[in-house]
Chain A
Amino acid sequence: MEFRIVTKALKYIVIGVFALWTLIPLAWIVSLAFKSYAEWRVSYFVPKNPTTDNFVLLFKPEELLGRYGVMGATAIIEPATKPLINSLIVTAATTFLAVFIGFFTAYGASRYRAPGPFTLFFTLLTRMLPPAIFITPIMVYYSNLGLLDTYFGLVFLYSAVTVTYAIWILKGFIDAVPVEWEEAAMLEGATPIKVVFKVVLPLVRPGLVVAGLFIFLLTWSELLFALVLTNISAVTLPVHISKYVGAVGQLFGPQAALALIGSIIPVAIGYAIQKHLVTGFTFGMVRG
């Protein structure tokens, strides 16, 4: 009995420590976003004079200089609207493309065997090296192909990298669909293409949602490649955040404000689709 109380207490302590560990930085961002310039570097959480200035400045960068003087002399000339829209476009396109290609690759890998030594394992190769080593060659290629600072350039790279996740997540889901279910449909008059779209695709919808959400989050927060490959027209949100640096130091307030806006979007999407993550996926439920 006592032992159970101890383990239970331990459980809560571990969970509590972990929760603090992850939530404190988040709380700090919320707090910073509403703090005025004078309070950015102080160590208390709740701002004395809460302000929405940081948010307003995001969309009126021309006022930065007037407000903070030398401190506000940044490279920022554009409001945050454009990077926000860029990020949405690039992330949505990447997610769609990676899940779409990933689904068909996973279907092929699940149902057919490739000749020779080519296995699905090879798709993991790109994940085994640190991304940083790809940057230089990709820069060179992109520069020659005219893909620097374009949506297409980013989407192409992001989907090539994240499609691996889509393949592996979806393969598990497709493997769980009995081949007989496809064969029955084929006998009932469905061509192989129709079988994929009318039988397999709806059955693995929860897998599509999981893979999509995962890739959305990865792409949404990607900084390294975007920083190198974009400059003006295709700048994404993380890159834009990193540009709030004044002549003397980081502009923590606007950075936090934009990070907060940037976090709300994926959280909202995750919340909206959470019911698709769990419903409708009960295989092998034949009972006697």
Chain B
Amino acid sequence: MAFLKLEGISKKYNDRFALDNITLSVEKGEILSIAGPPGSGKTTLLKIIAGLVKPTSGRVYVEGTDITETPPYLRGFSMVFETPPVYPDRTGYENIAFPLRLRKLPEDEVRKRVYEVAELLAIKHILSRKPSTYSGGEYQRVALARALVTSPKLLLLDEPFRNLDAKIREHMVVWFKQLQAKLGITIVYATHDPLEAFTIGNRAAILLNGRVKQYGLPANILRNPLSHDVDEFISIPALNTFKVRFRSMDDEVLIQLNSITIRKRAKLNTENGEGEAIATVRPMDISVSRSPGEGTVAGRVELIQYLGANILATVRVGDLSIRVVVPKDAVIREGEDIYLSLDPARIRLYETSSGRRLDVVV
């Protein structure tokens, strides 16, 4: 039996669905990440699980028991918010001890547990200090310590590392994943960053406009997005999206992108033998060379952007602008002529009207 189960959760604010029929489950000891852009309903969903917001319809179950009507203070969960609950008027010790004091534990038990969790999170040195003296990482760890000190049944994290700068965040994400492995605690983790979601979660749900658009193992979602909006959301840097015409024949699809024709081995998940569709290719799935080869397309480099490990080049091909990722050590200049080649297997086709995935790999 799933540890946490959401069944048909919807939340309406003034006739607008913030969440629309969400069904998800989380196994004990697992991390479920929920990835979605700001405003997609992640926080509302977490608050419904926590009991802070009542769903318009749908039920929440923990180990088979319906807890939809249980008030938050009786659920035994913890939550770390984007604005972490670290009260500026008291020391780190008092902040971490706060939930234990609510439970009226004896003072030596409180002390023991605070020190245990502080040791675990490596924040013993800030226990006697007030939050105004903390670094961003310490601040986040105190919030986490507070959430963990009660040994919650379920930990809800809402963009807990959002306010950290990129380098510290990267470090915290890895550290956090190791910590979870050690504690075996069940976690629902919300983030706007799909890569962070895939790194942290055992499973991930992509939440777009209040709907779960795809749910499963991170690698599957990454490799095989089921709709255009999911593909767009999880692709970093942003996708190349083209309008194409297609014609399907047996095990093959002919894709016509302006004057370029591409043959792809796939079956189509549609009744139409031909028509218009959306085709997407990730910038890193296109390779670049200086000399023409078989099946290459000539283009001129229009713009270069530095991504860190790589270079993102915008290449003009006829009246198309195609974005490609080029290794950093490939010296490439704006205005230069280059040749692009593309593995047809990396092209994905979506229905124009619904954004539904059309091609089925054979």
Contacts and interface: CB of A to CB of B under 8 A. Distances in A.
A178 B86 CA distance: 11
B84 A286 contact: yes
B103 A189 contact: yes
Interface residues of A, number: 26
A194 to B, nearest CB: 7
A288 interface: yes
- Which of the listed residues B47, B102, B135, B147 has the most CB atoms from chain A within 10 Å of its own CB? B102
Contact of B52 (A181, A186, A282): A186
Contacts of A184: 78-81, 85, 146-147
Contact of B79 (A183, A189, A283): A183
Contact of B73 (A178, A189, A205, A287): A189
A181 B72 CA distance: 14
B294 interface: no
Given A199-B87, A203-B88, A288-B163, A185 B98 contact: yes
Interface string A227-270: 00000000000000000000000000000000000000000000
B89 interface: yes
Interface in A174-220: 178, 180-181, 183-191, 194, 198-199, 202-203, 205
A183 B102 CA distance: 14
A185 B52 CA distance: 11
B47 A189 contact: no
Interface in B175-204: none
A206 to B, nearest CB: 9
A247 to B, nearest CB: 58
Contact of B132 (A186, A199, A203, A282): A282
A190 B102 contact: yes
B165 interface: yes
Nearest to A184: B85
B78 A202 contact: no
A187 B50 contact: yes
Given A198-B102, A205-B89, A281-B88, A183 B132 contact: no
B72 A288 contact: no
Interface string B53-82: 000000000000000000011010111111
A175 to B, nearest CB: 14
Contacts of B52: 183, 186-187
Given A180-B82, A183-B52, A203-B88, A188 B150 contact: yes
17 contacts: A180-B85, A181-B83, A183-B72, A183-B81, A184-B80, A184-B81, A184-B146, A186-B72, A187-B72, A187-B78, A189-B73, A191-B73, A202-B87, A202-B89, A283-B88, A285-B132, A288-B136
Given A189-B73, A190-B102, 20 more contacts: A178-B81, A180-B83, A181-B83, A181-B87, A183-B52, A183-B79, A183-B81, A184-B78, A184-B85, A184-B147, A185-B102, A186-B72, A188-B73, A188-B146, A188-B150, A191-B73, A202-B90, A280-B89, A280-B130, A285-B88
